[in-house]
Copies of this chain bind each other. A is one copy, B any other.
Amino acid sequence: MSKRLTPKGARTGRRPGTSTTRAEILEAARTSFAELGYDRTSVRGVAAKAGVDPALVHRFYGSKDDLLAAALTVALNPGERIPELMEGDASALGERVVRYFLSVWEQSPSREVLIGMLRSAATNERAAAQLRRFFGREVLGRIAAQLGHEDAELRATLAGSQLLGLAMARYIIRFDPIASADPQAIVAAIAPTLQRYLTEELG
Protein backbone atom coordinates (compact mmCIF):
# COMPACT_ATOMS: atom_id res chain seq x y z
CA MET A 1 0.00 0.00 0.00
CA SER A 2 2.75 2.47 0.95
CA LYS A 3 5.71 2.87 -1.33
CA ARG A 4 8.10 3.19 1.58
CA LEU A 5 7.27 2.56 5.21
CA THR A 6 10.03 4.68 6.72
CA PRO A 7 10.62 8.04 5.10
CA LYS A 8 14.27 8.76 4.48
CA GLY A 9 15.36 12.31 5.16
CA ALA A 10 11.84 13.69 5.17
CA ARG A 11 13.20 17.24 5.18
CA THR A 12 10.80 18.55 2.57
CA GLY A 13 7.82 17.99 4.86
CA ARG A 14 6.85 20.78 7.20
CA ARG A 15 6.82 18.27 10.03
CA PRO A 16 9.15 15.39 10.75
CA GLY A 17 7.91 12.01 9.50
CA THR A 18 6.74 10.64 12.81
CA SER A 19 4.09 7.96 13.24
CA THR A 20 1.83 10.76 14.52
CA THR A 21 2.19 12.47 11.16
CA ARG A 22 1.43 9.21 9.32
CA ALA A 23 -1.71 8.81 11.42
CA GLU A 24 -2.69 12.43 10.84
CA ILE A 25 -2.29 12.06 7.09
CA LEU A 26 -4.44 8.93 7.12
CA GLU A 27 -7.05 10.67 9.25
CA ALA A 28 -7.08 13.61 6.82
CA ALA A 29 -7.51 11.15 3.93
CA ARG A 30 -10.41 9.40 5.69
CA THR A 31 -12.11 12.73 6.32
CA SER A 32 -11.54 13.83 2.74
CA PHE A 33 -12.88 10.60 1.19
CA ALA A 34 -15.85 10.76 3.57
CA GLU A 35 -16.68 14.42 2.94
CA LEU A 36 -15.63 14.93 -0.67
CA GLY A 37 -15.75 11.41 -2.12
CA TYR A 38 -13.10 9.89 -4.33
CA ASP A 39 -13.39 12.31 -7.26
CA ARG A 40 -12.73 15.47 -5.30
CA THR A 41 -10.08 14.05 -2.96
CA SER A 42 -6.50 14.84 -3.94
CA VAL A 43 -3.08 14.19 -2.43
CA ARG A 44 -2.62 17.96 -2.34
CA GLY A 45 -5.90 18.46 -0.46
CA VAL A 46 -5.09 15.71 2.03
CA ALA A 47 -1.65 17.23 2.60
CA ALA A 48 -3.18 20.67 3.24
CA LYS A 49 -5.70 19.18 5.67
CA ALA A 50 -2.93 17.36 7.56
CA GLY A 51 -0.65 20.42 7.47
CA VAL A 52 2.18 18.63 5.64
CA ASP A 53 3.89 18.84 2.30
CA PRO A 54 2.25 16.79 -0.53
CA ALA A 55 5.62 15.10 -1.06
CA LEU A 56 5.35 13.61 2.42
CA VAL A 57 1.90 12.18 1.63
CA HIS A 58 3.36 10.63 -1.54
CA ARG A 59 6.30 9.26 0.39
CA PHE A 60 4.18 7.72 3.14
CA TYR A 61 1.21 6.48 1.14
CA GLY A 62 1.95 6.76 -2.59
CA SER A 63 -0.90 7.83 -4.89
CA LYS A 64 -4.49 8.83 -4.17
CA ASP A 65 -5.52 5.23 -4.93
CA ASP A 66 -3.05 3.98 -2.34
CA LEU A 67 -4.46 6.47 0.17
CA LEU A 68 -7.94 5.14 -0.53
CA ALA A 69 -6.76 1.57 -0.04
CA ALA A 70 -5.24 2.66 3.28
CA ALA A 71 -8.48 4.37 4.35
CA LEU A 72 -10.54 1.31 3.37
CA THR A 73 -8.09 -0.98 5.14
CA VAL A 74 -8.55 1.00 8.36
CA ALA A 75 -12.35 0.96 7.92
CA LEU A 76 -12.67 -2.74 7.08
CA ASN A 77 -9.50 -4.31 8.48
CA PRO A 78 -9.97 -7.24 6.09
CA GLY A 79 -6.56 -8.78 6.74
CA GLU A 80 -7.64 -9.63 10.30
CA ARG A 81 -11.43 -9.70 10.08
CA ILE A 82 -11.90 -11.96 7.04
CA PRO A 83 -9.74 -14.83 8.39
CA GLU A 84 -11.64 -14.54 11.71
CA LEU A 85 -14.97 -14.76 9.83
CA MET A 86 -13.91 -17.81 7.91
CA GLU A 87 -12.95 -19.69 11.08
CA GLY A 88 -15.47 -21.20 13.43
CA ASP A 89 -18.81 -22.86 12.79
CA ALA A 90 -19.33 -23.09 9.02
CA SER A 91 -23.12 -23.11 9.46
CA ALA A 92 -23.01 -19.58 10.93
CA LEU A 93 -20.71 -18.06 8.30
CA GLY A 94 -23.51 -15.99 6.71
CA GLU A 95 -24.41 -14.50 10.06
CA ARG A 96 -20.79 -13.61 10.87
CA VAL A 97 -20.40 -11.92 7.47
CA VAL A 98 -23.52 -9.76 7.83
CA ARG A 99 -22.57 -8.83 11.42
CA TYR A 100 -19.11 -7.78 10.22
CA PHE A 101 -20.71 -5.74 7.44
CA LEU A 102 -23.05 -3.97 9.87
CA SER A 103 -20.24 -3.36 12.39
CA VAL A 104 -18.43 -1.38 9.69
CA TRP A 105 -21.44 0.45 8.24
CA GLU A 106 -23.18 1.32 11.50
CA GLN A 107 -20.28 3.42 12.81
CA SER A 108 -18.52 6.63 11.82
CA PRO A 109 -16.24 7.38 10.09
CA SER A 110 -16.16 3.99 8.31
CA ARG A 111 -19.69 4.54 7.07
CA GLU A 112 -18.89 7.91 5.54
CA VAL A 113 -15.71 6.63 3.86
CA LEU A 114 -17.71 3.77 2.32
CA ILE A 115 -20.59 6.03 1.29
CA GLY A 116 -18.14 8.40 -0.40
CA MET A 117 -16.48 5.48 -2.13
CA LEU A 118 -19.71 3.90 -3.33
CA ARG A 119 -21.06 7.21 -4.62
CA SER A 120 -17.89 7.79 -6.60
CA ALA A 121 -17.83 4.21 -7.91
CA ALA A 122 -21.37 4.66 -9.23
CA THR A 123 -20.33 7.60 -11.38
CA ASN A 124 -16.58 7.37 -11.99
CA GLU A 125 -14.93 4.45 -13.76
CA ARG A 126 -11.58 4.96 -12.06
CA ALA A 127 -13.24 4.83 -8.63
CA ALA A 128 -15.18 1.73 -9.73
CA ALA A 129 -11.92 0.10 -10.85
CA GLN A 130 -10.37 0.90 -7.48
CA LEU A 131 -13.38 -0.58 -5.66
CA ARG A 132 -13.19 -3.74 -7.80
CA ARG A 133 -9.48 -4.01 -7.05
CA PHE A 134 -9.75 -3.45 -3.30
CA PHE A 135 -12.84 -5.59 -2.65
CA GLY A 136 -11.79 -8.20 -5.20
CA ARG A 137 -8.40 -8.68 -3.63
CA GLU A 138 -8.85 -7.82 0.04
CA VAL A 139 -12.39 -8.93 0.81
CA LEU A 140 -14.04 -11.18 -1.82
CA GLY A 141 -10.74 -12.76 -2.85
CA ARG A 142 -9.93 -13.75 0.74
CA ILE A 143 -13.40 -15.22 1.20
CA ALA A 144 -13.24 -17.10 -2.11
CA ALA A 145 -9.77 -18.49 -1.32
CA GLN A 146 -11.03 -19.86 2.00
CA LEU A 147 -14.20 -21.34 0.51
CA GLY A 148 -12.20 -23.39 -1.95
CA HIS A 149 -15.22 -24.31 -4.15
CA GLU A 150 -14.79 -24.47 -7.89
CA ASP A 151 -17.27 -21.56 -8.24
CA ALA A 152 -15.98 -19.73 -5.15
CA GLU A 153 -15.49 -16.42 -6.95
CA LEU A 154 -19.07 -16.35 -8.23
CA ARG A 155 -20.27 -17.24 -4.73
CA ALA A 156 -18.21 -14.43 -3.18
CA THR A 157 -19.54 -11.86 -5.67
CA LEU A 158 -23.13 -13.06 -5.12
CA ALA A 159 -22.67 -12.43 -1.40
CA GLY A 160 -21.03 -9.12 -2.31
CA SER A 161 -24.04 -8.19 -4.47
CA GLN A 162 -26.45 -8.70 -1.57
CA LEU A 163 -24.25 -6.61 0.74
CA LEU A 164 -23.78 -3.91 -1.89
CA GLY A 165 -27.55 -3.76 -2.35
CA LEU A 166 -28.07 -3.60 1.41
CA ALA A 167 -25.61 -0.69 1.58
CA MET A 168 -27.37 1.11 -1.27
CA ALA A 169 -30.89 0.49 0.06
CA ARG A 170 -30.14 1.16 3.75
CA TYR A 171 -27.49 3.88 3.75
CA ILE A 172 -27.53 5.64 0.38
CA ILE A 173 -30.97 5.59 -1.24
CA ARG A 174 -32.62 4.90 2.15
CA PHE A 175 -35.59 2.78 1.16
CA ASP A 176 -37.85 2.25 4.13
CA PRO A 177 -38.46 -0.04 5.97
CA ILE A 178 -35.01 -1.57 5.25
CA ALA A 179 -33.31 1.78 6.00
CA SER A 180 -34.74 2.02 9.51
CA ALA A 181 -35.01 -1.69 10.37
CA ASP A 182 -33.35 -2.92 13.53
CA PRO A 183 -29.90 -4.40 12.82
CA GLN A 184 -31.10 -7.69 14.36
CA ALA A 185 -33.90 -7.92 11.79
CA ILE A 186 -31.35 -7.29 9.03
CA VAL A 187 -29.10 -10.03 10.37
CA ALA A 188 -32.00 -12.49 10.59
CA ALA A 189 -33.15 -11.71 7.04
CA ILE A 190 -29.79 -11.51 5.25
CA ALA A 191 -27.68 -14.17 7.02
CA PRO A 192 -29.42 -17.17 5.35
CA THR A 193 -28.93 -15.53 1.92
CA LEU A 194 -25.19 -15.20 2.48
CA GLN A 195 -25.03 -18.68 3.99
CA ARG A 196 -26.58 -20.15 0.85
CA TYR A 197 -24.39 -18.16 -1.55
CA LEU A 198 -21.23 -19.07 0.31
CA THR A 199 -21.80 -22.67 1.34
CA GLU A 200 -24.96 -24.30 -0.04
CA GLU A 201 -26.28 -25.65 -3.33
CA LEU A 202 -26.73 -22.78 -5.80
CA GLY A 203 -29.00 -24.69 -8.21
A150 CB, min distance to chain B CBs, angstroms: 12
Contact, CB under 8 Å: A173 / B123: no
**Interface membership of A132, Cβ < 8 A:** yes
Closest chain B residue to A170, Cβ basis: B161
A175 to B197, CA, bound (A): 16
Which of A135, A164, A181 counts the most B-chain CB atoms under 10 A from its CB? Answer: A164
Q: Are B197 and A189 in contact, CB atoms less than 8 angstroms apart?
A: yes
> Which residues of the partner chain B approach A164 to less than 8 Å between Cβ atoms?
164-165, 168-169, 173
| B175 in contact with A132 (CB, 8 Å) | yes
A157 within 8 A of partner (CB)? yes
- Among B172, B193, B202, the residue within 8 A (CB) of A162 is B193
Q: How far is the CB of A20 from chain B (nearest CB, A)?
A: 34
Q: Which residues of B contact A1 (CB under 8 A)?
A: none
CB within 8 Å for A119 and B123 given contacts A192-B203, A193-B196: yes
